[in-house]
Amino acid sequence: SQKIEQNSEALNIQEGKTATLTCNYTNYSPAYLQWYRQDPGRGPVFLLLIRENEKEKRKERLKVTFDTTLKQSLFHITASQPADSATYLCALAPNAGNNRKLIWGLGTSLAVNP
């Protein structure tokens, strides 16, 4: 069956450290993968998109990698801050068929402690 999985346990890290979140998928050949941030009671906010032919993308303190052999994307937040505390969702666009419908992971909760 097709699945997309994120770390199910909450991640607690100390301020200033690098947070690394994982997104694994099976039985897809995604055209691209996206990462979103979601705060409690609010809609997800787009952060980064990485395409199947890209290995790495950066935006300020954020870095995303995409390994289509391992079927995995890693999301890094460097020099983390308490304001980075949120749930982070990955979503992929399946290559086959309708690319318009994203498949979502359950999200990983990140807490950055001061």
Partner 1 sequence: DTGVSQDPRHKITKRGQNVTFRCDPISEHNRLYWYRQTLGQGPEFLTYFQNEAQLEKSRLLSDRFSAERPKGSFSTLEIQRTEQGDSAMYLCASPGASTDTQYFGPGTRLTVL
Residues that bind partner 1 (CB under 8 A): 32, 34, 36, 41-46, 49, 89, 91, 93, 98-102, 104-107
Nearer to partner 1 among residue 14 and residue 42 (C-beta)? 42
> Least separation, in Å, of the C-beta of 15 and partner 1?
25
The residue among 18 and 26 lying less far from partner 1, judged by its C-beta, is: 26
CB 94 within 8 A of CB 30: yes
List of residues 6+ apart from 98 with CB closer than 8 A: none
Can you tell me the distance from the alpha carbon of 88 to that of 105, in angstroms, rounded to the nearest whole number?
9
- Which CB atom, from 10 or from 70, has the smaller least distance to partner 1? 10
Report yes or no: 77 and 61 within 8 Å, Cβ to Cβ: yes
